[in-house]
Amino acid sequence: MRPEENLAKRLVWRHSLSPRIDVMHLASLYATVEVCRFPVDVDGVSLFLKNKQRRPHILVSEALSPRRQRFTLAHELGHVLIPWHLGSIVDETDLINSIERSTYWDLEGEANRFASELLIPTDWMQSIVASTSDAAASTRIVVESADVSIQAATVKLLNSLPAGYVFARVHAGEVTWSGNSIGTLASRVPYGPVDVDSLFPAAEQHSWAAGSDGYYHWWQLKDALPLPDIEEGDDWRLLLQQILDDIPLFDPNKLRSSIHGVIAAANGSVRENRSTERIYAVCLNRLEGRANDASGIQQVIKHALFSRFLVAKVRDFRV
Ligand SMILES: [Zn+2]
Protein backbone atom coordinates (compact mmCIF):
# COMPACT_ATOMS: atom_id res chain seq x y z
CA MET A 1 0.00 0.00 0.00
CA ARG A 2 1.26 3.49 -0.85
CA PRO A 3 1.52 6.35 1.69
CA GLU A 4 -1.55 8.19 0.38
CA GLU A 5 -3.58 4.96 0.59
CA ASN A 6 -2.36 4.38 4.14
CA LEU A 7 -3.42 7.89 5.00
CA ALA A 8 -6.96 7.20 3.73
CA LYS A 9 -6.99 3.87 5.55
CA ARG A 10 -6.01 5.51 8.85
CA LEU A 11 -8.69 8.17 8.34
CA VAL A 12 -11.35 5.48 7.85
CA TRP A 13 -10.14 3.73 10.98
CA ARG A 14 -9.86 6.88 13.12
CA HIS A 15 -13.43 7.99 12.32
CA SER A 16 -14.81 4.40 12.43
CA LEU A 17 -16.19 4.73 8.91
CA SER A 18 -17.57 2.13 6.54
CA PRO A 19 -19.29 2.54 3.18
CA ARG A 20 -21.31 4.47 2.36
CA ILE A 21 -18.78 7.13 3.48
CA ASP A 22 -20.28 10.54 4.29
CA VAL A 23 -17.52 12.37 2.46
CA MET A 24 -19.16 15.79 2.76
CA HIS A 25 -19.23 15.55 6.55
CA LEU A 26 -15.69 14.17 6.66
CA ALA A 27 -14.23 16.87 4.39
CA SER A 28 -15.97 19.59 6.45
CA LEU A 29 -13.89 18.51 9.46
CA TYR A 30 -10.69 19.45 7.63
CA ALA A 31 -11.67 22.20 5.21
CA THR A 32 -14.35 24.71 4.29
CA VAL A 33 -16.37 23.01 1.55
CA GLU A 34 -18.49 24.73 -1.07
CA VAL A 35 -20.42 23.30 -4.01
CA CYS A 36 -20.48 25.95 -6.70
CA ARG A 37 -20.78 26.75 -10.37
CA PHE A 38 -17.47 27.29 -12.16
CA PRO A 39 -17.28 29.59 -15.19
CA VAL A 40 -14.81 27.17 -16.81
CA ASP A 41 -14.59 23.39 -17.21
CA VAL A 42 -13.23 22.51 -13.78
CA ASP A 43 -14.38 19.73 -11.45
CA GLY A 44 -12.81 20.84 -8.19
CA VAL A 45 -10.37 23.24 -6.59
CA SER A 46 -8.31 23.09 -3.41
CA LEU A 47 -7.06 26.39 -1.95
CA PHE A 48 -4.71 27.37 0.89
CA LEU A 49 -3.15 23.92 1.30
CA LYS A 50 -0.79 23.77 4.32
CA ASN A 51 -1.20 27.50 4.82
CA LYS A 52 -0.64 28.44 8.48
CA GLN A 53 -2.82 31.55 8.24
CA ARG A 54 -5.87 30.09 6.50
CA ARG A 55 -8.13 27.07 6.70
CA PRO A 56 -8.05 24.94 3.53
CA HIS A 57 -10.93 25.61 1.15
CA ILE A 58 -12.45 23.04 -1.23
CA LEU A 59 -14.72 23.98 -4.13
CA VAL A 60 -16.60 21.27 -6.04
CA SER A 61 -18.53 21.81 -9.26
CA GLU A 62 -22.32 21.53 -8.97
CA ALA A 63 -22.41 20.40 -12.60
CA LEU A 64 -21.06 16.94 -11.74
CA SER A 65 -23.28 13.92 -11.14
CA PRO A 66 -23.71 13.17 -7.41
CA ARG A 67 -21.28 10.23 -7.57
CA ARG A 68 -18.62 12.20 -9.47
CA GLN A 69 -19.11 14.98 -6.92
CA ARG A 70 -18.41 12.51 -4.10
CA PHE A 71 -15.26 11.24 -5.81
CA THR A 72 -14.04 14.76 -6.60
CA LEU A 73 -14.62 15.82 -3.00
CA ALA A 74 -12.66 12.80 -1.73
CA HIS A 75 -9.91 13.63 -4.25
CA GLU A 76 -9.73 17.25 -3.01
CA LEU A 77 -9.66 16.02 0.59
CA GLY A 78 -6.62 14.02 -0.49
CA HIS A 79 -4.91 17.25 -1.56
CA VAL A 80 -5.82 18.77 1.83
CA LEU A 81 -4.44 15.87 3.88
CA ILE A 82 -1.48 14.53 1.89
CA PRO A 83 1.38 16.45 3.55
CA TRP A 84 3.39 17.28 0.42
CA HIS A 85 0.46 18.71 -1.60
CA LEU A 86 0.92 22.47 -1.29
CA GLY A 87 -0.55 25.76 -2.50
CA SER A 88 -3.64 25.66 -4.71
CA ILE A 89 -4.68 22.91 -7.12
CA VAL A 90 -7.27 23.12 -9.89
CA ASP A 91 -8.67 19.79 -11.06
CA GLU A 92 -10.39 18.11 -13.92
CA THR A 93 -10.87 14.71 -12.31
CA ASP A 94 -12.39 12.56 -15.04
CA LEU A 95 -11.15 9.31 -13.59
CA ILE A 96 -10.26 7.26 -16.64
CA ASN A 97 -8.64 10.17 -18.48
CA SER A 98 -6.55 11.00 -15.46
CA ILE A 99 -5.47 7.37 -15.04
CA GLU A 100 -4.40 7.15 -18.66
CA ARG A 101 -2.69 10.51 -18.56
CA SER A 102 -1.08 10.82 -15.18
CA THR A 103 2.19 9.25 -14.30
CA TYR A 104 1.82 6.87 -11.43
CA TRP A 105 3.55 8.92 -8.80
CA ASP A 106 2.30 12.43 -9.53
CA LEU A 107 -0.05 14.41 -7.31
CA GLU A 108 -3.18 13.56 -9.26
CA GLY A 109 -2.49 9.84 -9.09
CA GLU A 110 -1.92 10.19 -5.35
CA ALA A 111 -5.16 12.12 -4.78
CA ASN A 112 -7.08 9.57 -6.88
CA ARG A 113 -5.68 6.63 -4.93
CA PHE A 114 -6.47 8.43 -1.67
CA ALA A 115 -10.07 9.00 -2.85
CA SER A 116 -10.40 5.42 -4.03
CA GLU A 117 -9.18 3.98 -0.72
CA LEU A 118 -11.38 6.38 1.26
CA LEU A 119 -14.63 5.65 -0.62
CA ILE A 120 -13.88 1.95 -1.28
CA PRO A 121 -11.64 0.71 1.56
CA THR A 122 -9.54 -2.28 0.48
CA ASP A 123 -10.55 -4.53 3.41
CA TRP A 124 -14.20 -3.87 2.71
CA MET A 125 -13.64 -4.46 -1.02
CA GLN A 126 -11.96 -7.80 -0.33
CA SER A 127 -14.95 -8.92 1.70
CA ILE A 128 -17.27 -8.01 -1.21
CA VAL A 129 -15.06 -9.92 -3.67
CA ALA A 130 -15.03 -12.94 -1.36
CA SER A 131 -18.81 -12.96 -0.96
CA THR A 132 -19.80 -12.54 -4.64
CA SER A 133 -19.73 -15.08 -7.43
CA ASP A 134 -18.11 -12.96 -10.14
CA ALA A 135 -16.51 -9.60 -10.89
CA ALA A 136 -19.64 -8.06 -12.39
CA ALA A 137 -21.61 -8.89 -9.23
CA SER A 138 -18.84 -7.29 -7.15
CA THR A 139 -19.04 -4.20 -9.37
CA ARG A 140 -22.78 -3.80 -8.84
CA ILE A 141 -22.54 -4.18 -5.07
CA VAL A 142 -19.63 -1.72 -4.79
CA VAL A 143 -21.45 0.88 -6.93
CA GLU A 144 -24.62 0.67 -4.81
CA SER A 145 -23.14 0.19 -1.34
CA ALA A 146 -20.22 2.61 -1.60
CA ASP A 147 -22.24 5.06 -3.76
CA VAL A 148 -19.45 5.44 -6.33
CA SER A 149 -19.42 5.50 -10.13
CA ILE A 150 -19.01 2.24 -12.00
CA GLN A 151 -15.68 3.61 -13.27
CA ALA A 152 -14.35 4.11 -9.73
CA ALA A 153 -15.59 0.65 -8.72
CA THR A 154 -13.84 -0.85 -11.76
CA VAL A 155 -10.51 0.86 -11.04
CA LYS A 156 -10.62 -0.48 -7.48
CA LEU A 157 -11.50 -3.98 -8.69
CA LEU A 158 -8.60 -3.94 -11.16
CA ASN A 159 -6.32 -3.19 -8.21
CA SER A 160 -7.92 -5.69 -5.84
CA LEU A 161 -8.64 -8.86 -7.81
CA PRO A 162 -5.99 -11.57 -7.94
CA ALA A 163 -4.03 -12.21 -11.15
CA GLY A 164 -6.00 -13.67 -14.04
CA TYR A 165 -8.82 -11.14 -14.53
CA VAL A 166 -9.26 -9.24 -17.81
CA PHE A 167 -11.65 -6.30 -18.11
CA ALA A 168 -13.06 -4.48 -21.17
CA ARG A 169 -15.74 -1.82 -21.42
CA VAL A 170 -17.64 -2.22 -24.70
CA HIS A 171 -19.80 0.54 -26.14
CA ALA A 172 -21.53 0.25 -29.53
CA GLY A 173 -19.32 -2.66 -30.57
CA GLU A 174 -16.04 -1.00 -29.60
CA VAL A 175 -13.70 -1.47 -26.67
CA THR A 176 -13.40 1.97 -25.06
CA TRP A 177 -11.49 1.01 -21.93
CA SER A 178 -9.67 -2.12 -20.83
CA GLY A 179 -7.31 -3.42 -18.19
CA ASN A 180 -6.10 -6.47 -16.29
CA SER A 181 -5.81 -7.29 -12.63
CA ILE A 182 -2.25 -7.01 -11.35
CA GLY A 183 0.01 -9.91 -12.34
CA THR A 184 -2.22 -11.13 -15.20
CA LEU A 185 -0.13 -12.52 -18.04
CA ALA A 186 -2.71 -11.92 -20.79
CA SER A 187 -2.38 -8.66 -22.75
CA ARG A 188 -4.86 -5.83 -22.38
CA VAL A 189 -7.74 -6.07 -24.85
CA PRO A 190 -6.96 -3.51 -27.59
CA TYR A 191 -9.30 -0.51 -27.99
CA GLY A 192 -11.52 -0.52 -31.10
CA PRO A 193 -14.07 -2.79 -32.80
CA VAL A 194 -14.68 -6.11 -31.08
CA ASP A 195 -16.83 -9.20 -31.28
CA VAL A 196 -17.24 -9.76 -27.54
CA ASP A 197 -18.40 -13.35 -27.91
CA SER A 198 -15.16 -14.31 -29.63
CA LEU A 199 -13.01 -13.11 -26.72
CA PHE A 200 -11.52 -15.67 -24.32
CA PRO A 201 -13.77 -18.69 -25.08
CA ALA A 202 -11.50 -20.74 -22.78
CA ALA A 203 -12.12 -18.44 -19.80
CA GLU A 204 -13.23 -19.90 -16.49
CA GLN A 205 -15.93 -17.26 -16.21
CA HIS A 206 -17.37 -14.31 -18.14
CA SER A 207 -19.65 -11.77 -16.44
CA TRP A 208 -20.80 -8.27 -17.27
CA ALA A 209 -22.46 -5.26 -15.67
CA ALA A 210 -24.31 -2.47 -17.48
CA GLY A 211 -23.05 1.11 -17.13
CA SER A 212 -24.36 4.29 -18.74
CA ASP A 213 -21.28 4.33 -20.98
CA GLY A 214 -21.25 0.68 -22.03
CA TYR A 215 -21.11 -2.89 -20.77
CA TYR A 216 -18.38 -3.72 -18.29
CA HIS A 217 -17.14 -7.21 -19.18
CA TRP A 218 -14.91 -9.35 -16.98
CA TRP A 219 -13.21 -12.63 -17.81
CA GLN A 220 -11.52 -14.83 -15.27
CA LEU A 221 -8.82 -16.67 -17.19
CA LYS A 222 -7.49 -20.09 -16.33
CA ASP A 223 -3.95 -20.17 -15.08
CA ALA A 224 -3.23 -23.43 -16.84
CA LEU A 225 -5.12 -25.50 -19.40
CA PRO A 226 -4.75 -29.18 -20.15
CA LEU A 227 -3.40 -29.64 -23.67
CA PRO A 228 -5.93 -31.06 -26.13
CA ASP A 229 -5.33 -34.76 -26.63
CA ILE A 230 -3.14 -34.61 -29.73
CA GLU A 231 -0.40 -37.04 -30.66
CA GLU A 232 3.21 -35.94 -30.63
CA GLY A 233 5.11 -35.50 -33.87
CA ASP A 234 3.30 -32.61 -35.60
CA ASP A 235 5.48 -30.01 -37.32
CA TRP A 236 4.02 -26.63 -36.32
CA ARG A 237 5.68 -24.86 -39.30
CA LEU A 238 3.80 -27.03 -41.79
CA LEU A 239 0.54 -26.69 -39.87
CA LEU A 240 0.80 -22.90 -39.75
CA GLN A 241 1.57 -22.81 -43.48
CA GLN A 242 -1.56 -24.88 -44.19
CA ILE A 243 -3.66 -22.54 -42.04
CA LEU A 244 -2.27 -19.45 -43.78
CA ASP A 245 -2.90 -21.00 -47.21
CA ASP A 246 -6.57 -21.33 -46.27
CA ILE A 247 -7.07 -17.65 -45.35
CA PRO A 248 -5.88 -15.83 -48.47
CA LEU A 249 -7.39 -12.48 -47.50
CA PHE A 250 -4.47 -11.73 -45.20
CA ASP A 251 -0.80 -11.21 -46.05
CA PRO A 252 0.69 -14.56 -44.94
CA ASN A 253 4.07 -13.14 -43.96
CA LYS A 254 2.58 -10.40 -41.79
CA LEU A 255 0.12 -12.77 -40.20
CA ARG A 256 2.82 -15.38 -39.57
CA SER A 257 4.99 -12.81 -37.83
CA SER A 258 2.08 -11.47 -35.72
CA ILE A 259 1.29 -15.03 -34.57
CA HIS A 260 4.93 -15.65 -33.75
CA GLY A 261 5.19 -12.28 -32.02
CA VAL A 262 2.18 -12.91 -29.76
CA ILE A 263 3.34 -16.43 -28.90
CA ALA A 264 6.93 -15.34 -28.23
CA ALA A 265 5.71 -12.56 -25.91
CA ALA A 266 3.38 -14.99 -24.14
CA ASN A 267 6.12 -17.56 -23.68
CA GLY A 268 8.51 -14.87 -22.46
CA SER A 269 6.02 -13.66 -19.86
CA VAL A 270 5.89 -17.05 -18.10
CA ARG A 271 8.89 -16.79 -15.81
CA GLU A 272 7.72 -19.15 -13.07
CA ASN A 273 5.99 -22.54 -13.05
CA ARG A 274 6.87 -23.11 -16.68
CA SER A 275 4.67 -26.13 -17.22
CA THR A 276 3.43 -26.89 -20.74
CA GLU A 277 -0.16 -26.41 -19.48
CA ARG A 278 0.62 -22.94 -18.20
CA ILE A 279 2.49 -21.81 -21.32
CA TYR A 280 -0.35 -23.18 -23.43
CA ALA A 281 -2.93 -21.24 -21.38
CA VAL A 282 -1.00 -17.95 -21.60
CA CYS A 283 -0.45 -18.34 -25.37
CA LEU A 284 -4.13 -19.11 -25.92
CA ASN A 285 -5.26 -16.20 -23.70
CA ARG A 286 -3.00 -13.77 -25.53
CA LEU A 287 -4.08 -14.92 -28.98
CA GLU A 288 -7.75 -14.84 -27.97
CA GLY A 289 -7.28 -11.36 -26.52
CA ARG A 290 -5.98 -10.22 -29.91
CA ALA A 291 -8.80 -11.85 -31.80
CA ASN A 292 -10.55 -8.55 -32.40
CA ASP A 293 -7.80 -6.88 -34.37
CA ALA A 294 -7.77 -6.75 -38.14
CA SER A 295 -4.64 -8.83 -38.64
CA GLY A 296 -6.46 -12.14 -39.21
CA ILE A 297 -5.54 -13.80 -35.91
CA GLN A 298 -9.21 -14.57 -35.35
CA GLN A 299 -9.31 -16.54 -38.63
CA VAL A 300 -6.26 -18.50 -37.54
CA ILE A 301 -7.86 -19.36 -34.18
CA LYS A 302 -11.04 -20.56 -35.90
CA HIS A 303 -9.14 -22.84 -38.28
CA ALA A 304 -9.58 -26.58 -37.72
CA LEU A 305 -5.79 -27.10 -37.51
CA PHE A 306 -5.20 -24.32 -34.96
CA SER A 307 -5.19 -26.53 -31.84
CA ARG A 308 -2.73 -28.95 -33.44
CA PHE A 309 -0.49 -26.03 -34.43
CA LEU A 310 -0.51 -24.42 -30.97
CA VAL A 311 0.05 -27.69 -29.13
CA ALA A 312 3.01 -28.54 -31.40
CA LYS A 313 4.41 -25.04 -30.98
CA VAL A 314 4.08 -25.11 -27.18
CA ARG A 315 5.61 -28.58 -26.98
CA ASP A 316 8.59 -27.12 -28.82
CA PHE A 317 9.23 -24.78 -25.85
CA ARG A 318 9.98 -27.76 -23.60
CA VAL A 319 13.58 -28.04 -22.59
ZN1 LIG B 1 -6.21 16.92 -7.98
Q: DSSP per residue over 68-137, as a string?
A: HHHHHHHHHHHHHHSTT--EEEEE---HHHHHHHS-TTSHHHHHHHHHHHHHS-HHHHHHHHHHSSSHHH
133 close to 12: Cβ distance less than 8 angstroms = no
Q: How confident is the model at residue 41 (pLDDT cuts 50, 70, 90)?
A: confident
User: How remote is the CA of residue 284 from the centroid of ligand 1, in Å?
Assistant: 40
User: How remote is the CA of residue 85 from the centroid of ligand 1, in Å?
Assistant: 9
User: How remote is the CA of residue 158 from the centroid of ligand 1, in Å?
Assistant: 21
139 close to 209: Cβ distance less than 8 angstroms = yes
pLDDT at 262: 92
- Beta-carbon contacts of 189 under 8 Å, excluding residues fewer than 6 positions away, are 166, 168, 175, 178, 199, 289, 292
Whole-angstrom distance, CA of residue 262 vs CA of residue 268 = 10
User: How remote is the CA of residue 161 from the centroid of ligand 1, in Å?
Assistant: 26
Which of 62-66, 124-128, 223-227 comes out lowest in average pLDDT?
223-227
Q: How many CB atoms lie within 10 A of CB 240?
A: 23
98, pLDDT greater than 70: no
179, pLDDT greater than 50: yes
pLDDT at 208: 97
User: How remote is the CA of residue 129 from the centroid of ligand 1, in Å?
Assistant: 29
Q: Across the chain, how many H-helices and E-strands are there?
A: 13, 9
User: How remote is the CA of residue 80 from the centroid of ligand 1, in Å?
Assistant: 10
User: How remote is the CA of residue 111 from the centroid of ligand 1, in Å?
Assistant: 6
Higher-pLDDT residue of 106 and 96 is 106
Q: What is the reported pTM?
A: 0.84
User: How remote is the CA of residue 314 from the centroid of ligand 1, in Å?
Assistant: 47
Q: How confident is the model at residue 1 (pLDDT cuts 50, 70, 90)?
A: confident
Tell me how far the alpha carbon of residue 202 is from its chain's centroid.
20
User: How remote is the CA of residue 223 from the centroid of ligand 1, in Å?
Assistant: 38
- Beta-carbon contacts of 198 under 8 Å, excluding residues fewer than 6 positions away, are 288, 291, 292, 298
User: How remote is the CA of residue 18 from the centroid of ligand 1, in Å?
Assistant: 24
Mean pLDDT of the residues in the chain: 91
Whole-angstrom distance, CA of residue 109 vs CA of residue 128 = 24
User: How remote is the CA of residue 89 from the centroid of ligand 1, in Å?
Assistant: 6
pLDDT at 212: 92
User: How remote is the CA of residue 110 from the centroid of ligand 1, in Å?
Assistant: 8
29 close to 11: Cβ distance less than 8 angstroms = no
Q: What integer is the mean pLDDT of 174-198?
A: 90
User: How remote is the CA of residue 236 from the centroid of ligand 1, in Å?
Assistant: 53
pLDDT at 107: 85
User: How remote is the CA of residue 233 from the centroid of ligand 1, in Å?
Assistant: 60
21, pLDDT greater than 70: yes
Whole-angstrom distance, CA of residue 1 vs CA of residue 289 = 30
Measure Cα distances from 6 to 30, 56, 115, 129, 285 in Å.
18, 21, 11, 21, 35
Q: How confident is the model at residue 147 (pLDDT cuts 50, 70, 90)?
A: very high
Highest-confidence range of 34-43, 100-109, 122-131, 190-199, by mean pLDDT? 122-131
Whole-angstrom distance, CA of residue 101 vs CA of residue 108 = 10
Q: For residue range 150-178, what is the model confidence (pLDDT) as tens digits?
A: 999 999 999 889 999 999 999 999 999 99
pLDDT at 188: 87
User: How remote is the CA of residue 209 from the centroid of ligand 1, in Å?
Assistant: 29
pLDDT at 104: 46
Q: For residue range 202-236, what is the model confidence (pLDDT) as tens digits?
A: 899 999 999 999 999 999 998 888 899 988 889 99
- Asked, as a colleague might, if the bond just before 20 is cis with ω within 30 of 0, I would say yes
